[in-house]
């Protein structure tokens, strides 16, 4: 049974509870996204938002905090006074220590009888199981209730399994929304359309027609104020285990039989299960760990990771990771997938580069045999698809030069592009699971990542240093060079 649609006449009112309701994610992403959903009439009329936190805010104090801290994350052009006041009227803050059972009576009082409930756990994953157990014991979970779990879900396979197991005692799998906000990005969803809404790519979408695939998620920001979380997490767990592997799944999966959640997730799971397990020797050879040192980003001097606020002295947490992965199936045998992500890199850019095979033979004496054909799919900051081809330079003789066929999707398709969190929150409210991770998917991702973590522990090496504002350690280019490839910005 799927959760009732908010559009169903007579549906019960919705109470949307956010644990960590006054925390960083709620302030920067969730409350702004809910405001936008409200503004565009995507919240059921009778929705209450119940942020839950430990701070003893009165209603006025909470609203002041929202005015001071949340408003800066909302596009000022969308701040309509009447809509904003109506949004604030939906907020009902509850003070609660999520680890203590006795506080849940206050939450029960704030929820309406027979309301349809969504619990968004924007807290450390170590609290997930306690919160679910306390909600259940307080009689706040029924067969319609949904729970949203923020990433990273666990620290390794065992902790992810334990969380899944325990949350599963209170919520059916069809009610569990494991969020990976990359799956909510318009551009990431468009990748599915690029692949399965067009016929021209599919015949070539495989080895050996494709020589390699690069997936980059580069950030120019540093760790900021999040060292407390980040230093225990690192780039592999924070980004690669989830966002990059999800992108890899969408690039590599077989066409699903439909857009039903399980049809899509079955195909992604097959990709994750086909990832070639990494031996300790593979980890030593095919992965790169980096940590940013001092440098300059966009012309400004910035501190190194070790000098950032609250980073423990001598920390060896990686802020950059590059991996060469292989998918053991017919479509992708022998096609390396290069994944990299890092903080304090030269630019903020997320992109996928499909490099096509080299020419079997070159007819043109001055042209390289190495193919210039590549499809670049840029996901952010701007949405852009570019196909590079070889063309003849006008004039006598046969001089060749690569040229690009460019598609700027931003200008080709106007219309509001909702933020990932807004789209995903609406999916949760409507009970649409397609863009959320299923338990087996998440565990398969951890199963592949765990040998990398263990391999690094066995190697016991410090991460390689890279200057802030660069593309990561030199070893990352060497990883590519061994396969005769280069990262896009070096080509």
For binding to ligand BG6 (CB under 6 A), which residues are involved?
219, 238
Choice among 170, 243, 384, 435 that is catalytic:
243
| CA 139 – CA 133 distance, rounded (Å) | 10
CB of 124 to ligand BG6, least distance (A): 12
Q: Which is nearer to ligand BG6, 116 or 238 (CB)?
A: 238
CB of 180 to ligand BG6, least distance (A): 8
Q: Which is nearer to ligand BG6, 54 or 348 (CB)?
A: 348
CB of 214 to ligand BG6, least distance (A): 17
CB of 105 to ligand BG6, least distance (A): 33
Q: Which is nearer to ligand BG6, 96 or 148 (CB)?
A: 148
- Which residue minimizes CB distance to ligand BG6? 238
CB of 29 to ligand BG6, least distance (A): 9
CB of 238 to ligand BG6, least distance (A): 5
Q: Residue by residue, what is the 3-state secondary structure of the chain?
A: CCCCCCCCCCCCCEEEEEECCCCHHHHHHHHHHHHHHHHCCCCCCCEEEEEEECCCCCHHHHHHHHHHHHHHHCCHHHCCHHHHHHHHHHECCEECCCCCHHHHHHHHHHCCCCCEEEEEECCCHHHHHHHHHHHHHCCCCCCCCEEEECCCCCCCHHHHHHHHHHHHCCCCHHHEEECCHHHHCHHHHHHHHHHHCCCCCHHHCCCCCEEEEEEEEECCCCCCCCHHHHCCCHHHHHHHHHHHHHHHHHHHCCCCCCCCHHHHHHHHHHHHHHECCCCHHHHHHHEEEEEEECEEECCEEECCHHHCCCCCCCCCCCCEEEEEECECCCCCCCCCEEEEEECCECCCEEEEEEEECCCCCCCCCCCCCCCCCEEEEEEECCCEEEEEEEEECCCCCCCEEEEEEEEEHHHHCCCCCCCHHHHHHHHHHHCCCCCCECHHHHHHHHHHHHHHHHHHHHHCCCCEEEECCECCCHHHHHHHHCCCCCCHHHC
Active site includes 243? yes
Q: Which is nearer to ligand BG6, 238 or 308 (CB)?
A: 238
Q: Which is nearer to ligand BG6, 116 or 219 (CB)?
A: 219
Q: Which is nearer to ligand BG6, 219 or 282 (CB)?
A: 219
Q: Which is nearer to ligand BG6, 15 or 238 (CB)?
A: 238
CB of 350 to ligand BG6, least distance (A): 6
Known catalytic residues are 243
């Amino acid at each position: 049974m799927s959760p009732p649609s908010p559009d169903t006449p007579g549906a019960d009112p919705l109470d949307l509870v956010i644990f960590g309701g006054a925390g960083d994610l709620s302030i920067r992403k969730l409350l702004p996204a809910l405001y936008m959903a409200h503004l565009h009439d995507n919240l059921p009329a009778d929705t209450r938002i119940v942020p839950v936190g430990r701070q003893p805010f009165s209603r006025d104090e909470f609203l002041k905090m929202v005015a001071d801290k949340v408003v800066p994350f909302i596009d000022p052009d969308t701040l309509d006074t009447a809509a904003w006041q109506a949004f604030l009227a939906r907020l009902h803050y509850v003070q609660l220590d999520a680890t203590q059972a006795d506080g849940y009576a206050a939450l029960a009082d704030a929820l309406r009888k027979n309301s349809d409930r969504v619990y968004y756990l924007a807290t450390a994953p170590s609290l997930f199981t306690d919160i679910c157990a306390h909600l259940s014991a307080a009689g706040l979970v029924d067969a319609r209730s949904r729970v949203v779990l923020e990433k990273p879900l666990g620290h390794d396979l065992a902790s992810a399994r334990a969380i899944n197991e325990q949350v599963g005692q209170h919520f059916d799998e069809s009610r569990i929304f494991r969020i990976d906000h990359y799956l909510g990005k318009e551009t990431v969803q468009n990748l599915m359309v690029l692949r399965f809404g067009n016929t021209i790519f599919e015949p070539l979408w495989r080895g050996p027609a494709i020589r390699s695939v690069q997936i980059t998620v580069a950030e120019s920001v540093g760790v900021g104020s999040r060292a407390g979380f980040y230093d225990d997490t690192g780039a592999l767990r924070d980004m690669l285990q989830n966002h990059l592997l999800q992108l890899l799944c969408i690039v590599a999966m077989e066409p699903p039989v439909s857009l039903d959640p399980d049809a899509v997730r079955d195909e992604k799971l097959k990709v994750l299960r086909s990832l070639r397990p990494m031996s300790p020797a593979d980890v030593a050879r095919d992965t790169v760990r980096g940590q940013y040192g001092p440098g300059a980003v966009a012309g400004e001097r910035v501190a190194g990771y070790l000098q950032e606020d609250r980073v423990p002295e001598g920390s060896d947490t990686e802020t950059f990771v590059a991996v060469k992965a292989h998918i053991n199936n017919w479509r992708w045998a022998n096609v390396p997938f290069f994944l990299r992500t890092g903080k304090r890199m030269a630019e903020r850019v997320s992109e996928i580069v499909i490099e096509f095979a080299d020419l079997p033979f070159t007819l043109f004496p001055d042209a390289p045999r190495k193919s210039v054909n590549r499809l670049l799919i840029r996901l952010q900051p701007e949405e852009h698809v570019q196909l590079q081809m070889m063309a003849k330079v006008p004039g006598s003789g046969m001089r060749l030069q690569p040229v690009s066929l460019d598609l700027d999707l931003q200008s080709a398709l106007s219309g509001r592009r909702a933020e990932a969190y807004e789209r995903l929150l609406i999916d949760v409210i409507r009970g649409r699971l397609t863009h959320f991770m299923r338990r087996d998917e998440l565990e398969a991702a951890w199963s592949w990542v765990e040998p990398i973590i263990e391999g690094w522990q066995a190697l016991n090496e410090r991460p390689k240093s890279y200057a802030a504002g660069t593309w990561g350690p030199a070893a990352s280019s060497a990883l590519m060079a061994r396969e005769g490839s280069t990262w896009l910005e070096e080509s």
